[in-house]
């Protein structure tokens, strides 16, 4: 039998921030010194999800029930490196050369490849 996680049941949450400092309370217990920050996600029809991370966000105020989860903050460089490692160089070259925004200026191919990679990252192009 698995032990229940904090995300299994909503908890009373209070988030406050004045832009410089902030506090996080879960079920009336101030946990500010135990976390490095948080993310609050709310969707219509379900309890908000509070994910605890790095330093407190600025300008946040929330009080109510929320599911709570402890997140693992990823280095954006790792995400970008993983994305680039899966790019087929030949497909990237073909897609960049087939773009209709090539303009004959210096570095147009490099610019086209960067734009193509952006499109791919946003799901607007092939791999």
> Can you say whether residue 8 is alpha, beta or left, with left for phi > 0 and alpha for psi between -120 and 50 degrees?
alpha
- d(CA 76, CA 59) in angstroms, rounded, equals 24
| pLDDT score at 124 | 76
Say whether pLDDT at 93 is over 80. yes
pTM of the model: 0.42
- Which of 35-44, 76-85, 104-113 holds the top average pLDDT? 104-113
Q: Residue 63: what pLDDT?
A: 59
């Amino acid at each position: 039998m698995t032990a229940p996680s904090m995300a299994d049941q909503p908890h009373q949450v209070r988030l406050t921030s004045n832009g410089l400092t902030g506090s996080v309370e879960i079920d009336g217990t101030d946990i500010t010194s135990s976390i490095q920050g948080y993310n609050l996600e709310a969707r219509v029809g379900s309890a908000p999800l509070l994910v605890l991370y790095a330093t407190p966000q600025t300008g946040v105020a929330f009080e109510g029930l929320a599911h709570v989860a402890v997140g693992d903050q990823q280095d954006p460089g790792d995400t970008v490196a993983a994305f680039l490692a899966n790019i087929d160089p030949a497909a990237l070259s073909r897609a960049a050369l087939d773009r209709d925004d090539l303009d004959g200026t210096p570095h147009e191919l490099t610019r086209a490849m960067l734009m193509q990679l952006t499109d791919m990252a946003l799901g607007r192009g092939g791999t």
